[in-house]
């Protein structure tokens, strides 16, 4: 199994909300998990609104190792796309240790 893996991404029928499932299985030392997004071909941004049922409002999500361990390495995120005409969104989940990326996974989601 990969150290960090984006296992699923879904977009709602109205193309405004994204659900993301990430699994972390990294046994070495690390500080946390960072999730970034990039909207291709449009002026837009993705805002995270929920992490494992807890309401948040962040454009760049960082979860400490303690939070990841508490969730048993399984994270379910919800996000909204702010802006118009987004066709593709890249999602990148990175394990961070001492300000450096040590492992990552990324996927591109087609919106329309």
Domains and CATH numbers, the chain: 4-110 (2.60.40.10)
Q: State residue 37's pLDDT score.
A: 93
Cβ contacts of residue 107 below 8 Å, gap of 6+?
6, 9, 90, 91
Show Cβ contacts of residue 83 under 8 Å, excluding neighbours closer than 6 positions.
Answer: 39, 42, 43, 44, 45
What is the per-residue pLDDT across 53-84, written as a single tens digit (0 to 9) for each?
999 999 999 999 999 999 999 999 999 988 77
pTM of the model: 0.89
Rg (CA), the chain: 14
Average pLDDT of the residues in 40-63: 91
Q: What is the pLDDT of residue 2?
A: 83
What does the pLDDT read at residue 1? 52
């Amino acid at each position: 199994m990969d150290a960090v893996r984006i296992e699923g991404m879904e977009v709602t029928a109205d193309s405004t909300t994204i659900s993301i499932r990430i699994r972390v299985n990294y046994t070495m030392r690390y500080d946390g998990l960072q999730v970034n997004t990039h909207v291709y071909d449009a002026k837009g941004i993705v805002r995270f609104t929920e992490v494992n049922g807890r309401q948040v409002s962040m454009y760049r999500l960082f979860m400490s190792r303690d939070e990841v361990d508490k969730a048993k390495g399984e994270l379910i995120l919800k996000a909204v796309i702010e802006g118009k005409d987004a066709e593709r969104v890249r999602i990148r989940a990175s394990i961070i240790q001492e300000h450096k990326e040590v492992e990552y996974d990324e996927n591109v989601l087609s919106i329309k």
